Amino acid sequence: MIPVFGIDPLQVVGGTIAVAVLGVLAGLVFLGIDRKVTAHMQARIGPPIRQPFRDVRKLLCKDSIVPENAIPWLFNAAPIVALASAIVILLYLPAGSIAPVFGGYGDIILVMYLLTVPALAMVAGGFASGSPYATVGSQREMVTMISYEFPLAIAIIAVAWRLAAAGIADPFSIATIAANPVWSVVGPLGFAGCLILLVVLAWVTPAELSRIPCDTPEAETELAGGLLVEYSGRNLALFYLASGVKTVAMASLAVALFLPWNISGYLALPPAAGYAADIAFFLLKMLVVVFFSVSVIRVGMARFRITHVVSVYWGYLAGLGLLGLLLVVLDVAFGAGVIA
């Protein structure tokens, strides 16, 4: 097939299918591991790791009920948009030493904006359901989005700015960030700043995923499920899959920004085995990110009130992020950075 605008359609289609399948499978596995690990941390046995696969299979076998007061086309389209947009995010993120499908056609700012699309789809679905509980949940989701976007932007821009200050071309490119670990261009002050930014990103993750302590849009004990209260069957399964894929996307983003190293360069392996080793190492890094940014926080914290979400992210985490950014700037100003 003839490439169009430098893109091979067959390669794009094949890569998209592969990324979608791997993203869904990895997302469900991570959800299962998270449930199992948090259960053991709370002295419970917990469900088996394969439980998310069972849940999705059961939901896919059930019919989707559309409420009488809903807007049917928007109500049914929201889960599809949420899952599709979550998969699209993965097309711009590297997996180990494998370049992203659309790596040359987007940057880290685009990924930051794409992360909002699944949440916006849930908001639209909640409003379209006609349920007062879902309406309140949608309002809370919008407030949560406004709260965590600022700290997320600080962490992303600080890393790209430090690479630019080091003289690295195209610093907002995801391939550039992955190929030039920020740790290799900073001095002591910048190292401390990057550690702070890593903590900020770890705390942004549960808010992005609507997980404890930032699950106020769902809040089963208050809103009976909130955004998803009217969803069932296949539609609910699609939202569940979107949550798993977005978990993979957030973990991949954290790895690309702060843990981009591959293991094949340290091992004498043939190319095929090197790719496999890098993928396995990449999945291990993502699992570590999910453990510390989702599981540990989920076990150690109770649900925030919606007012607390705003104060924590716009106050404490935004201030912490600005402190990290300031340290990175001072690192350059004092000439402490060591350019690789």
pLDDT in tens, 57-100: 999 998 888 888 888 898 899 999 999 999 999 999 988 878 78
CA distances from 294 to 92, 174, 248, 251, 264 (A): 23, 24, 12, 10, 28
Question: Tens of pLDDT along 276-311?
Answer: 888 989 999 999 999 999 999 888 887 888 888 889
End-to-end CA distance of the chain: 41
pLDDT of residue 8: 65
Nearest to 249 by CA among 117, 57, 51: 117
Residue 2 in domain = no
Give me the domain span that covers residue 78.
9-333
**Mean pLDDT score, 155-173:** 89
Q: CA-to-CA distance for 26 and 251, rounded, in angstroms?
A: 11
Beta bridge pairs of residue 311: none
pLDDT of residue 153: 92
pLDDT of residue 7: 58
Q: CA-to-CA distance for 79 and 241, rounded, in angstroms?
A: 9
Contact between 254 and 156 (Cβ < 8 Å): no
Residue 46 clears pLDDT 50, i.e. is over it: yes
How many structural domains are present in the chain? 1
Share of the chain above pLDDT 90, in %: 38
Total-model pTM: 0.89
Residue 340 in domain = no
pLDDT of residue 222: 62
Tokens 């069972």 correspond to 54
Q: Please, which contacts does 130-135 make with residues 24 or more away whose CB atoms are closer than 8 Å?
A: 130/67, 130/68, 130/69, 130/70, 130/71, 130/230, 131/67, 131/69, 131/229, 131/230, 133/223, 133/224, 133/225, 133/226, 133/229, 134/223, 134/226, 134/227, 134/228, 134/229, 134/230
Residue 165 in domain = yes
Residue 259 in domain = yes
- 125 versus 215: the higher-pLDDT residue is 125
Residue 258 in domain = yes
Q: Across all residues in the chain, what is the average pLDDT?
A: 86
**Mean pLDDT score, 146-164:** 91
pLDDT of residue 336: 45
Beta bridge pairs of residue 98: 95
**Mean pLDDT score, 106-123:** 89
Residue 155 in domain = yes
pLDDT of residue 1: 40
Tokens linked to 107: 């940057």
Q: CA-to-CA distance for 195 and 143, rounded, in angstroms?
A: 27
Residue 339 clears pLDDT 50, i.e. is over it: no
**What is the sign of the dihedral through the CA atoms of 318, 319, 320 and 323?**
positive
Residue 316 in domain = yes
pLDDT of residue 290: 92
Residue 95 in domain = yes
Q: CA-to-CA distance for 265 and 263, rounded, in angstroms?
A: 5
pLDDT of residue 304: 81
Question: Tens of pLDDT along 245-278?
Answer: 999 999 999 999 999 888 877 777 777 788 888 8
**Collapsing DSSP states into helix, strand and coil, what is residue 174?**
helix
Triad 207, 210, 212: Cα angle to 5° = 85
